[in-house]
Amino acid sequence: MDTDASPENDRVVIFDTTLRDGEQSPGISLDQGEKLEIAEQLARLGVDVIEAGFPVASQGDFESVQVIAKAVHGPTICGLSRTALADIDRCWEAIESAEHTRIHTFIATSEIHMRNKLRMTPDQVKAEAARAVAHARSYTDDVEFSPEDASRSDFDFMCEVLQVAVDNGATTLNIPDTVGYAIPEEWAERIRSVRQRVKGDYVISSHCHNDLGLAVANSLAAVQAGARQVECTVNGIGERAGNAAMEEIVMALRTRADFFGGIDCRVRSEELARSSRLISRLTGYPVQFNKAVVGRNAFAHESGIHQHGVLTERTTYEIMDPSVVGAAGSEIVLGKHSGRHAFADTLRKMGFDLHGDALNQAFTRFKELADRKVQLTEEDLEALVAEEVGDTVRYRFQLVSVAARVEPGETAQATVTLEVDGEHRTAEATGDGMVEAACAAIKDITGVEGRLTDYSVTSVTGGVDALADVALRFDVGGRAVPGRGLSTDVVEASARAFLNAINRAVRIDETGVADPAVDRPGSLDGV
Ligand code: KIV
Ligand code: ZN
């Protein structure tokens, strides 16, 4: 993809880091199938660059980046790498088969990081940056360099490092507010000053974290100051309080084109709502109801005066048309008489190309739901597919049956059957309520201990026969692992969500991907 963008130019490159910085959110652990599905959706969304992962971090990360590089067409596929030459080699190995490649290398330039984390002198950092960029350039002519913790770095020193990066071939200079410390005016000034100070031909980029809730504001201020790439994630997921939310940046540029002087990007905004739902389901991170652009209340009008206003003339209280972000009402697409062919065909039209086992499992799940629910909408199908795109999971849900507590003092009872390594296992348990009893039975079968913390039920679409969508968190050994589950029945949706969290916790234990000390060498805290 042509990512050429200069400050004179009126296009901003959208660099998506959902699969790298976003995936570093606590408790998120995506498998290869899930990452590929997300990357394909990002390509449909029209992002310019997908930062697919951090290949040296683990064999799993490496393979996921490689699969994405081979299969996803359109966007540039970028891998993150520290400055160590062996890391850059590994990064290149992962991305080399992509249509368009980029290596993103970084090293911290703040006093605090150099002293405590890197244990390097400023001169050593400068030399590392020069060597890494030159090495990356021997593989590809698209090389990005980031001075980590830029917002707390000495400006003069940071510019010296940026200058050596450009002199050695960096084509994008990304300025990260790693710890979410910047304030919009100050950030704009930093971006503007870098442009003035660092000579050469490069695109300037902004990468903001949201610790003070300013990531989007800072990113937009950077664009005004000349940045022509913004790094962001869908739904703003990411380390700690997250990264800048892509949907907010895109819609601010579009809705306030008058203010931004027509600076735009290539994102197909009609795909924003669907991208948000997919990422939310696969990561288990719910989207807050009042989240700008993609929250379920983003276009809801509660007060009578507002409702009347919108019914008379939509723009009275709406600055964006819901259909522009793909948030218009979901259409009914299939019912219980629909066959396998119609099912696969509808999914294909929606952009999901499922084959083999994934298609079989999704179809079986569709039949189960369609037998209980009269008609399924596009959103129901999306939710269903998201349950099936992952790689094989350890425990598969089969059945739950419950007996409610009738009198105070009595306990509810649940019997749960799971498939474990091809065999069915059943357990019975009691609890204060039916959900608690079902979760206790699941704990019995899996042997995974922990504490259920957050729990919420919503519906996928409206109406009394809507699918229940349960989101919860399960605290295993001090780590809050999210889970999502879907069913026409709330207890079953809860049991599925609980099992989803358990499968995720088991995967994290097996791969160690969520443990920076084990798998992200060289202390990448805050990266
Ligand atoms: O936040 C950060 O500093 C990063 C860099 C790797 C760009 O994620
Ligand atoms: Zn970051």
pLDDT of 459: 85
- pLDDT category at 512 given cuts 50, 70, 90 is low
Residue 288 pLDDT exceeds 50: yes
Long-range contacts of 377-381 (CB under 8 A, 24+ apart): 377/330, 377/331, 377/332, 377/333, 377/460, 377/461, 378/330, 378/331, 378/333, 378/350, 379/277, 379/330, 379/460, 379/461, 380/330, 380/460, 380/461, 380/467, 381/333, 381/334, 381/346, 381/347, 381/350
Neighbours of 270 (CB within 10 A): 16
Please state which of the ranges 4-18, 41-55, 95-109, 219-233 shows the lowest mean pLDDT.
Answer: 4-18
pLDDT of 358: 83
Question: Which of residues 506 and 219 earns the better pLDDT score?
Answer: 219
247 CA → ligand 2 middle, Å = 17
Whose Cα sits closest to atom 6 in ligand 1?
Answer: 527
* Ligand with minimal distance to 233 CA: 2
Among 16, 148, 175, 237, residue to substitute to test ligand 1 (most atoms within 8 Å of Cβ): 148
* Ligand with minimal distance to 242 CA: 2
The per-residue pLDDT for range 405-457, each reduced to its tens digit, is: 777 778 899 999 999 988 999 999 999 999 999 999 999 999 999 899 899 99
Mean pLDDT over 349-371 rounds to: 88
* Ligand with minimal distance to 229 CA: 1
Whose Cα sits closest to atom 8 in ligand 1?
Answer: 527
- One DSSP character per residue, 285-307 reads -PPPTT-TTTSTTTT---SHHHH
- pLDDT category at 6 given cuts 50, 70, 90 is low
pLDDT of 516: 35
Atom of ligand 1 nearest to the CA of 209: 1
Atom of ligand 1 nearest to the CA of 21: 8
334 CA → ligand 2 middle, Å = 41
- pLDDT category at 299 given cuts 50, 70, 90 is confident
Pocket lined around ligand 1, Cβ cut-off 6 Å: 21, 80, 106, 146, 148, 174, 176, 178, 207, 209, 527
C-alpha–C-alpha distance, residues 281 and 469, integer Å: 10
The per-residue pLDDT for range 129-170, each reduced to its tens digit, is: 999 999 999 999 999 999 999 999 999 999 999 999 999 999
pLDDT of 523: 39
179 CA → ligand 2 middle, Å = 8
Long-range contacts of 428-435 (CB under 8 A, 24+ apart): 432/405, 433/405, 434/402, 434/404, 434/405, 434/491, 435/490, 435/491, 435/494, 435/495
Domains and CATH numbers, the chain: 9-283 (3.20.20.70), 300-387 (1.10.238), 393-511 (3.30.160.270)
Q: Residue 311: what residue type?
A: L
pLDDT of 409: 78
- pLDDT category at 517 given cuts 50, 70, 90 is very low
User: What share of the chain has pLDDT > 70, as a percent?
Assistant: 94
Whose Cα sits closest to atom 1 in ligand 1?
Answer: 178
C-alpha–C-alpha distance, residues 463 and 461, integer Å: 7
Atom of ligand 1 nearest to the CA of 239: 1
376 - beta bridge partners? 334
- pLDDT category at 44 given cuts 50, 70, 90 is very high
Whose Cα sits closest to atom 3 in ligand 1?
Answer: 178
Atom of ligand 1 nearest to the CA of 150: 3
- pLDDT category at 1 given cuts 50, 70, 90 is low
C-alpha–C-alpha distance, residues 138 and 168, integer Å: 10
Question: Which of residues 150 and 328 earns the better pLDDT score?
Answer: 150
Residue 510 pLDDT exceeds 70: yes
137 CA → ligand 2 middle, Å = 23
270 CA → ligand 1 middle, Å = 29
